[in-house]
Amino acid sequence: MARKVECLYCGQKFTRTQYSEHLEMEHTDEYVKLVERIKSALQIGDDIKYIATNNNITEAFVKKIEKQLMTFIKEDTTSYSPKNSNIKLLWEPENFKLETTTVWSFPDRGNWATHSGKYRGNWSPFIPRNIILRYSKEGETVLDQFVGSGTTLIETKLLKRKGIGVDINPEAVKLTKSNTSFEKKDSGEVEVHVGDARNLEFIKDESIDLKWKIFVIIAVIILLSAITFIILLHLYNNRNEGREVAMQAKEYKLSKPIKRGNMSLEEAIAGRRSIRTYSEEKISEKDISQLLWAAQGITDEESGFRTAPSAGALYPLEIYAAVAMVDGIEPGLYKYNPLNHSLLLKKSGDIREEIYNASLWQDSIKDAAAVIIYCAVFKRTYYRYRNRAAQYVYIETGHSAQNVYLQAEALNLGTVAIGAFDNKGLKKVLELPDEEEPVYLMPVGKRE
């Protein structure tokens, strides 16, 4: 039986194979540090087995990192060749040319020297390389006020400039120091400080030749100004059409949800049942307001946290309501806006029959006063959690659906969760955008 490793950050136990995957998904910053430690150990010639044992990971994972380092091999005198290793670190991007237009395009992110794309918010090293080469000379000083993982300062050192870096985050400073600690012949010098970018008194006046972030800010301002002008021009040219669209869009501000009801949580749990038949009586606007809030409502205005937990607080769910018999709201398909606690009309008219046909002719759909429809944008979760994204989205859907079940019980309403439907057919009925997929239906109505 494989020996289990205890995670230093959450205490859970995993096999060595699972441990590196766990760090990547749940402790991203620590995973970045692990990869950097492995790279450093490989570069100084440490044995693969020793690295694996010392970091509680598999040899296969170490070999994977080694393969990344060996992506490019050059037999030149500037390549750093660690002892007892066939790794040769590429110091420069292959076939690099300065950008000459306002649209910059790179063949890949760039992984020469100690650059890594694992650090969140990290940009391509091609960007600072272009800026530094175009606006500074060898030996001049470059200031980076927000070092992140050191992308700009790595390029500063490689391009024989002096670099001064500042960051208020000690972990960022530590990571940058690690990434700029390489030894290369004829490279520049870099110093990194923990500090506030608003207070740079330790730097002598007139000593900085290139204030890196200022160029980025100016470029962003120019770009945003151009985009704003184009948008305003487009809106002006299509002002009548825009007015017509605005007239067609109807948004219903829902009643403020209550936080204290007449039924205890324990009673709601004990009474919860899947109810498939409903009376012909309308439900109230307050009922639908409370149900939608239970599904995805905001519970903390400052953080934006919602009623149901979401992996990484990414909130991939989009909630719709097909309204048919709700007091004060005309029949139609609406999209729920958690931020405003409102409904935006997407399609007028009662569409229960169309949903009924797309959901394998289940009578609870046709008889409901309203149908709550769960859709998901899977890529929101995929960007962070990769192959576990779908699992997390479905888990979140279950969390939210149980909230609706319990809220319906507290309101003396009936509901049932439905997962059997024709995906393509339902998506067509709902006229969903390409990135959204239907995942769950919950018809709601008065109990008979």
| Residue 260 token pair | 């204290």
Q: Closest Cα partner for 445 from 406, 403, 411?
A: 411
- Give percent of the chain with pLDDT exceeding 70: 85
- Determine whether 384 is exposed, middle or buried from the number of CB atoms within 10 Å of its CB (0-12, 13-18, 19+): middle
Residues belonging to the chain: 448
At 248 the pLDDT is 47
pLDDT in tens, 84-118: 444 445 788 888 888 888 778 776 778 788 887 66
At 243 the pLDDT is 40
pLDDT in tens, 201-224: 778 887 777 665 555 555 666 776
CA angle, 78 then 84 then 89, to 5°: 30
For residue 144, the number of C-alpha atoms closer than 13 Å in the C-beta half-sphere is 28
At 298 the pLDDT is 94
- When pLDDT is cut at 50, 70 and 90, the band that residue 43 belongs to is low
81, pLDDT greater than 50: no
| Mean pLDDT, residues 156-176 taken together | 89
pLDDT in tens, 356-365: 999 999 999 9
75, pLDDT greater than 50: no
53, pLDDT greater than 70: yes
Q: Are 36 and 150 in contact (CB under 8 A)?
A: no
308, pLDDT greater than 80: yes
| Mean pLDDT, residues 37-65 taken together | 78
At 38 the pLDDT is 83
Q: Which residue has the tokens 């100004």?
A: 225
| Mean pLDDT, residues 55-78 taken together | 63
| Residue 110 token pair | 């760039």
Distance CA 418, CA 367 (A): 14
179, pLDDT greater than 90: no
Q: Could you tell me the CA-to-CA distances from 339 to 123, 165, 303, 435 in Å, in that order?
A: 30, 38, 11, 21
161, pLDDT greater than 90: yes
Distance CA 87, CA 67 (A): 9
Q: Tell me, what amino acid is at 238? A: N
226, pLDDT greater than 80: no
Q: Closest Cα partner for 293 from 319, 326, 330?
A: 319
Within 10 angstroms of residue 183's Cβ, the number of other Cβ atoms is 7
Q: Is 268 helix (H, G, I), strand (E, B) or coil?
A: helix
In this predicted structure, which of 225-229, 307-311, 327-331 has the lowest mean pLDDT?
225-229
348, pLDDT greater than 70: yes
Winning range, highest mean pLDDT, from 6-10, 81-85, 396-400: 396-400
At 120 the pLDDT is 56
Q: Is 277 helix (H, G, I), strand (E, B) or coil?
A: coil
Distance CA 440, CA 24 (A): 29
In terms of phi and psi (left: phi > 0; alpha: psi -120 to 50; beta: otherwise), the region of 14 is beta
- Return the higher-pLDDT residue of 48 and 412: 412
| Mean pLDDT, residues 437-444 taken together | 97
The strand ranges marked E within 284-330 are: 317-323
Distance CA 174, CA 166 (A): 11
| Mean pLDDT, residues 139-163 taken together | 90
Q: In sequence order, which ranges of 373-431 are alpha helices (DSSP H)? A: 378-385, 389-410, 423-430
- Give percent of the chain with pLDDT exceeding 90: 46
At 74 the pLDDT is 32
Element (H, E) at 26: helix 16-26
| Residue 403 token pair | 């909230």
Mean pLDDT score of the chain: 84
At 399 the pLDDT is 97
Q: Which domains, ranges and CATH numbers included, belong to the chain?
A: 5-69 (1.10.10), 114-248 (3.40.50), 251-446 (3.40.109.10)
